[in-house]
Amino acid sequence: MARGATHVLGLDIGTQTIKAVELRLSGPDVVLEGRPAVIATPPNSVVGGRVVDEEAVSQAISEAASEYGFSVKKVVASVGGETDVAVRIAELPRMEPKELDEAVQWELDRQTPFAVDQVIYDFEAVEHPGVGPESENMEVLLAVAQEDMVNAHAETILGAKMTPVAIDVEPLALGRALVELGDEAAMQSTVVIVNIGHTGSLISIFCQGVPVFIRTIPSAGEALTAAIRQNAQLGEEDAERAKRQFADVTGLFAYEEEEGEFEEEEDDFIEEATDSVFELSDSEVAEEVDEGAEDTDAMATRLDVDAQSYELPPDQPVEAEPADEHEPGGEAEAQAPEEVGEPAATEEAAEEAEPIAEEEQWARQQISEALVGPLTELATELQRSIQHYQRQHRQEQISTIILSGGSAGVPGLAEFLAAEVGIPAKVADPFANIQFDPDEVSKAYLRDVGPTVSIAVGLALRDMLD
């Protein structure tokens, strides 16, 4: 089943937070060790996906490892950023593998903005399940990153006294956690994963487990906070706090699109999609390095978009709950990020709760109404992406939208997007098929923190799945 590391720490270093999940393979089961960690990224230490203060980030990772009791030193991480990373999908004439490398060299020089002698790149042919081998053309995923950015990321991990086993790419990590390790229906259908990050949202489409479409859009958590700040005349910190505490779009509806808008913008979208973020997969090139090794050039280059998340889970463990409550993977709303780790109230408790104060009702209404604009833009761009994909693959029906990232738990968001796009949506639960010790972590905690740490889960799974 496994190809390499079977006990590893998945590490997702973001601009706002650092997420870490320790997994191990036990027979056919994937087991969670301890509790997932979400800690604040040291201020100004990660800019645009690039680690600019290696010492500060290394220290934060070391402190998290000690606090959460991580027992493994092997790490699979991801890098990202829009200025230092370029990922493209190229359509090339069908050719033999030995001819592909030369063709990719030409595409590398033509499609990337970086000096070729200063980058690390990787590529792989992708066979869409709906495209037969007799077709004249083939699709190749090409990923390129500035070499010094990749090295800085790896050196940061080494500085935390850990071993960087591989650098992975965000869309593939999400696919492992939410599709490959998900239910069988996800692997047999076409699903969309929407990862709502801090500065951008990543839209990934998987057909029978194969990544076939990736696009990034600017509608994300930062845009939600900006809308609240402007609408409620709040400072940035207060707007962020208000979003975590009061955001709830249950029952709200997006603005109606003008008829023909998608058709009029189709040509522009095709060009944008070609230049946006696509993923890379290379199954065998990542090599484990010795702890303390200084040579980072030998590691595989896998690339990431931006990270996500806003609020940290509580430091203390939560009480375990009965196994039949809070079924993972369902379409029920996740709690707001500030409530991560707090067991959701039962219906009986909710009935006994005191009525919401008038001031709080007003605040919830103001904050939620402020979110309609940016969420409408998110729904619009998601719908445009899906329509563009379906124009090329008219026989495919998309079964589900899965929401991950720090803002995925906004109450009502899954229902909001489902209503606007016309496809069922649910909040991600990457721990649905992972074993865990209920004495160390509760199902409610994993359900609530799951969307935020989905990428870290997928990173840890890298060598555990076929």
pLDDT of residue 429: 96
pLDDT of residue 346: 40
Across 139-168, average pLDDT: 89
> Which of 220 and 12 is assigned the larger pLDDT?
12
Question: Does pLDDT of 31 surpass 60?
Answer: yes
- Closest to 194 (Cα-Cα) out of 444, 416, 446: 416
CA gap 230, 233 in Å, rounded: 5
- Closest to 446 (Cα-Cα) out of 461, 428, 458, 464: 428
pLDDT of residue 394: 81
Question: Does pLDDT of 309 surpass 50?
Answer: no
* Pairing relationship of beta strands 398-405 and 163-168 according to DSSP bridges: unpaired
pLDDT of residue 266: 47
- The label of the residue with tokens 């738990």 reads 409
End-to-end CA distance of the chain: 5
pLDDT of residue 39: 95
pLDDT of residue 127: 82
Give me the half-sphere count of Cα atoms (radius 13 Å) on the Cβ side of residue 269. Answer: 21
DSSP 179: I
Pull the structure tokens for residue 250.
Answer: 């249950």
pLDDT of residue 158: 97
List pLDDT tens digits, range 67-111.
999 999 999 998 766 667 776 777 788 888 888 988 888 888 777
List pLDDT tens digits, range 245-258.
888 888 776 555 44
- Closest to 385 (Cα-Cα) out of 194, 177, 129: 194
Range picked from 35-39, 104-108, 274-278 for highest mean pLDDT: 35-39
Confidence of residue 142 (pLDDT cuts 50, 70, 90): confident
Question: Does pLDDT of 330 surpass 60?
Answer: no
Question: Measured at the alpha carbon of residue 353, what is the angle toward residues 348 and 356, in degrees to the nearest 5?
Answer: 135
List pLDDT tens digits, range 377-417.
999 999 999 999 898 888 889 999 999 998 898 899 999 99
Range picked from 229-233, 258-262, 284-288, 305-309 for highest mean pLDDT: 229-233
What proportion of the chain, given as a percentage, has pLDDT over 90?
A: 37
Confidence of residue 291 (pLDDT cuts 50, 70, 90): very low
What proportion of the chain, given as a percentage, has pLDDT over 70?
A: 75
Residue spans of the domains in the chain: they are: 7-460
Pull the structure tokens for residue 150.
Answer: 């990749």
CA gap 182, 426 in Å, rounded: 13
Confidence of residue 355 (pLDDT cuts 50, 70, 90): low
**What's this model's pTM, rounded to 2 decimal places?**
0.78
